[in-house]
Amino acid sequence: MKELSREERVAALREARVVLVSACLLGEACRYDGKSKGSDKVMRALEGKEVVPVCPETGAGLGIPRPAVELKGGAGAEVLEGRARAAEVESGRDRTEAFRRGAELALAAARRFGAEVALLKERSPSCGTQGTHVDGVVVRGQGVTAALLARSGLTVVSDEDL
């Protein structure tokens, strides 16, 4: 699928009636560190729209707070294809299945409520749309949820596109 420019992504968000949104961007304290990433510009961009909040990691039962996770060996698309994995940064504990399950839950929510656009938190190993943490550094690529949504036909937009 052709990669959209930032302008095209923002235009898709502007035209969307229903938007799947990373819950932390709406002020939910659901991040791994127990904090939120509430954003005025996100709230402004969503004015008048139907919002479907999702947090793939808490949806998969990982809890709040939870150990930070990064991707190992590749970004979200490679995780979905079984060529990379998700693991806790400190302990190395494998979290691939939870990340895949969280992504499936987000996709199911998008389908149930008819969202064709997702507004997601940049650089998260689940939600990052342009960049994510792989092997200790931020690389160009998507988190696991963003990759599944994008390959399922949704337009993924990040808070940093706004």
Task: Give residues in contact with ligand SF4 (CB under 6 A).
Answer: 22-24, 30-31, 55-57, 121, 124, 126-127
What's the min distance (Å) between Cβ of 128 and ligand SF4? 8
Residue with Cβ nearer ligand SF4 (9 or 121) = 121
Query: Helix H segments across 54-143?
Result: 56-59, 76-80, 96-113
What's the min distance (Å) between Cβ of 1 and ligand SF4? 22
What's the min distance (Å) between Cβ of 2 and ligand SF4? 25
What's the min distance (Å) between Cβ of 25 and ligand SF4? 7
Residue with Cβ nearer ligand SF4 (11 or 109) = 109
Residue with Cβ nearer ligand SF4 (24 or 86) = 24
Residue with Cβ nearer ligand SF4 (9 or 31) = 31
- The encoded tokens of residue 145 equal 């949820």
Q: Is 126 exposed, middle or buried (0-12, 13-18, 19+ CB in 10 A)?
A: buried
Residue with Cβ nearer ligand SF4 (22 or 130) = 22
Q: What type of residue sits at position 82?
A: G
What's the min distance (Å) between Cβ of 109 and ligand SF4? 12
- The encoded tokens of residue 52 equal 């479907």
Cα–Cα distance for residue pair 49/158, rounded to 1 Å: 17
Q: How far is CA 48 from CA 3, 24, 25, 51, 108, in A?
A: 27, 19, 17, 9, 23
